[in-house]
Amino acid sequence: MKQLLLDVLPAQAPSLENYVPGPNAEALAALRALPSGRAVYLWGPAASGRTHLLRAMVADSADAIYLDNDAPINTFQAVADGDAGHALLRRVAIDDLHAMDDARQACVFALYNRWRESAATEHALSLVVAGDTAPHQMQLREDLRTRLGWDLVFRLDALSDADKMAALGRQAASRGMQLAPDVLNWVITHVDRDMRRLSALVDALDRYSLAAKRPITVPLLRAMLAEQPEPSNPDSPPPTLS
């Protein structure tokens, strides 16, 4: 079968609204209501939605910033110290803490101290940090590891296939579409299982079905994916379907 390219389908921007909680509803509710002066540590395996939630928490906010292991060390230092334009930040999201080197860990440690010192003041900020394991199992400097448990801690679990199929079915129904079980099963077994990209696939399938004036079936879905253009950068091939 011809390789079917999914990377050209744009994923939805992360938001709390398009996060599918599955077993993580408690964590989502806490993030929705998170006030300044509170901190949350999220931990869980890959594909549990850590990055989605952290990016959603800072989306479209001029007074918020997202940092991961790729952020320059000078940016980490400025945020930790509250220097220059970073003094007015009200929310900081730190992703993939488990991957950070000693210098970045030192900055996150300083940031936790800044967060605690300012918690009861007009300069209070909220702090959302994510890693792949529980605080007591993190391989970090000890003084930082203990700070992860200072406030709220939530474990995130990856969505089951049943959760994803139910979420896609609800999304389709909200658009007036009906996805038959065989279509949902084909998507789950053949397509990249990132929920944002699966949601983008449902949106694209709705448009394609309307344009083709054909009902949504597995052959229609395969035809749509087969018509996607090749990626522009041959050195970075996208995930493929088999």
Q: Assess whether pLDDT exceeds 70 at residue 211.
A: yes
Residue 152 DSSP label: E
The number of angstroms, rounded, from the C-alpha of 10 to the middle of its chain's C-alpha atoms is: 15
Domain ranges of the chain: 4-10+160-241, 22-155
- What pLDDT digit, counting tens, does each position of 97-117 carry? 999 999 999 999 999 999 999
- What pLDDT digit, counting tens, does each position of 115-152 carry? 999 998 998 999 999 999 999 999 999 999 999 999 99
Domain 22-155 has CATH 3.40.50.300: yes
The reply to whether the predicted model has a pTM over 0.85 is no
Q: Assess whether pLDDT exceeds 90 at residue 12.
A: no
CB atoms inside a 10 Å sphere around CB 184: 18
User: H/E element holding 96?
Assistant: none
User: Which of the following CATH numbers is that of domain 4-10+160-241: 1.10.3720.10, 1.10.8.60, 2.60.120.1090, 3.80.30.20?
Assistant: 1.10.8.60
Q: Can you tell me the distance from the alpha carbon of 36 to that of 127, in angstroms, rounded to the nearest whole number?
A: 8
